[in-house]
Amino acid sequence: MSARTIVMALVAQGLVSSGLLVWASATPPPLPRWGGPLDVAIALSLAATVFILQRLVGWPPDSSDIRRAYATIATVPSVVIVAIWLWRAHLDFNILLPGLAWRLFLLLYAVPAVLAAWRRG
């Protein structure tokens, strides 16, 4: 399996996971019972995919990959905070914040490996 295929799988998992989080935090209770187990399964698959990607490209990443990742790492949290502020009246922060915390951590932790993998093909 190529590094780019793993990156695309990681992006797809991240989009599904984030979509589930936004849906769960914007939907009035009660939420379906399958939401929690599905979120845990996606979280485990995301973590495993990041681990596989990092092993494939080597860790720690090259300094050039870290420099290239800096713009993403510096921008994403600010955009997320503004989006939360804009839609704050529609969101349940008890659901949103814990899920957002681990997703942002994993995203920011993975960005150098993702960029290195994409560059190397």
- Report d(CA 83, CA 25) in Å as an integer: 13
Kindly state the greatest CA–CA separation across the chain: 47
Q: Which residues contact residue 96 at a Cβ distance below 8 angstroms, ignoring those fewer than 6 apart?
A: 21, 22, 25, 84
What is the reported pTM? 0.85
Helix (H, G, I), strand (E, B) or coil at 92: coil
Q: How far is CA 27 from CA 82, 83, 86, 91, 99, in A?
A: 20, 17, 17, 8, 15
Q: What is the mean pLDDT of the chain?
A: 90
- Estimate to the nearest angstrom the gap between the alpha carbon of 86 and the chain centroid: 20
Whether 24 and 95 have beta carbons less than 8 Å apart is answered as yes
Give pLDDT, residue 22. 93
pLDDT of residue 1: 78
The total of structural domains in the chain comes to 1
pLDDT tens digits, one per residue of 1-26:
788 999 999 999 999 999 999 999 99
Q: What is the pLDDT of residues 55-83, one digit of tens each?
A: 998 877 777 878 888 888 889 999 999 99
Q: Where are the beta strands (DSSP E) in the chain?
A: none
Range of the domain at 42: 3-120
